[in-house]
Amino acid sequence: MKILRYHVLKEFFGLFLSCLGILLFIFLVGRGFVQMADLIFNKDVDVVLVLKLLVLSLPFLLVFVIPMATLMASLLAFGRLSSDNEIMAMRASGIGLFKVLSPLFLAVAVLSLVSLLLSDRIASTTHYAHRLLLMRLGIENPSAALEEGTFIKKFKDFVIFIYEIDKNRLKGIRIYQPQEGRATRTIVAEKGEILSFPEKNMLKLKLRNGTSDEPNPKDPSQFYKLNFKTYELPLNLSKTKVSQAPEKKPKDMTIQELQNEIERLGEAGIQATYPLSAEIHHKIAMSLSSLAFLLIGVPLAVKTRRSEKSIGFGMSLALMALYWTLLVGGKALAQKGLAPPFLSLQFCNLAVGGMGIFFLSKLERS
C-alpha cells in the first residue's frame, strides 16, 4: 500500500510542478515580459526596477496558477494511470481508490492552507508594494484620486466607493458623508462620470439616476430621501493626499485588515460589510479551489481513460472557465449585497467539490 501511495504522490506532484512552471511561463510571457519590454525600451525604466516589479507580481499570480496546476495535474496523472490500467489493477486487487488517494487528499489540503497563507499574507503585501513601485515610476497617474473597488478616503468629509471605472465613466457609486453627532449622509447613484478642472485643482462627479440623503431644514439631524436624475458633487484635489502612499485596496489587505476595516467603517455609519467580506471569502475560495479541483479531476480522468496532454489541457480549460464564471458572478453579487458573501463565493467550491465526491463515490462502488 505504501508503494502505491508513494507512486500516486510522485506521479501527481511531478506533473503538478511541470504544470505550475508551464502556466507561470505562459502568464509571464503573455503579460509580464511584454510589460517589461515596454518599460525598458519605451519608458527607459531601469532593468533592476522592472525585475523587481516582476518578482512582486509572482505571489499574486501564484494564487491563481496553483489551482489551475492542481486541476491539470490530476487530469493528466490519473488519466495516465487509468489508460495504463493501473487503476483497474488496484481495484481488481481489492484496493479501494479512497485508501490510495487519502495521502494525496491530505497533501493537497495542506497545499490549500499554504495557498491561503500565500494569498492572505504574502500576495496582499506584494500586490500593494507593486502598486507603490508603479506609482514611483510614474506609470500610474499620481493625481488619479479615484480607484474602483476600494473605499476612497482622500477627500475631506467624504468616503467614496465605486464598483466600476472605465476611463471617466463610473458605475455603482456610493458616497458617504460622516457627520459627528449625526447620522451619516449617503448618496447612491447608478452611474456617472468624472469631470476634471485642472486649473481649479478640482474634480466633479456628475451622478445620474440615484438618491441622496438631504438634511431636513427644520431638523438638520434628520434626513429625507431625494431622488435625482442628475447630481453634481465637487471634490477639491488640493485637500487630498495624493502625494502620499495610496490607500490600500481590498486586494492589498489581509483578512484581519479587512475585518478591522469593516468594524472601523461600521462605527462611522458606513455599510462596508458586503464588498469587504466578498474579498475575504474570495481569498478563502481561491485557496480551497485546489482541493475542489482534485476531487473533480480524479474521477473525470479515470472515466475518460485518456493520457494525451491535449485532452487534459482541454478539460482543464473547460472546468476553469466554468469555475471562474461562478466565482466572478458570485463576487459581483456579494459586493452589491444581493447574496451572502459566504454562499455566493464558496458556491463554486461546494458545487465542484460536491460533484467530485459524488463521482468518486460512484466510481468506488462500480
| 116-127 pLDDT, tens digit each | 999 999 999 998
What are 309-324's pLDDT values in tens digits? Answer: 556 567 777 888 888 8
44: its cell numbers: 527607459
pLDDT band for position 140 (cuts 50, 70, 90): very low
- Contact between 162 and 144 under an 8 Å Cβ cutoff? The reply is no
Q: What is the arithmetic mean of pLDDT over 10-35?
A: 84
| Per-residue confidence (pLDDT) for residue 62, from 0 to 100 | 93
Tell which wins on pLDDT, 8 or 115: 115
pLDDT score of 364 more than 80:
no
170: its cell numbers: 463610473
pLDDT score of 66 more than 70:
yes
104: its cell numbers: 494525496
Q: What is the arithmetic mean of pLDDT over 334-361?
A: 89
| Least reliable range by pLDDT among 68-72, 83-87, 198-202, 242-246 | 242-246
The overall pTM is greater than 0.85: no
Backbone phi and psi for residue 280, each to the nearest 5 degrees, phi listed first? -60, -50
DSSP letter string, 139-205: SS-TT----TTSEE--STT-EEEEEEEETTEEEEEEEEEEETTEEEEEEEEEEEEEEEEGGGTEEEE
Helix segments in the chain, DSSP class H:
2-27, 33-37, 47-83, 86-92, 97-117, 124-137, 255-267, 273-304, 309-335, 341-365
| Least reliable range by pLDDT among 36-45, 147-156, 203-212, 286-295 | 36-45
| Per-residue confidence (pLDDT) for residue 42, from 0 to 100 | 59
pLDDT band for position 221 (cuts 50, 70, 90): low
| Per-residue confidence (pLDDT) for residue 70, from 0 to 100 | 94
Tell which wins on pLDDT, 311 or 336: 336
Q: Look at residue 77 and give its three-state secondary structure.
A: helix
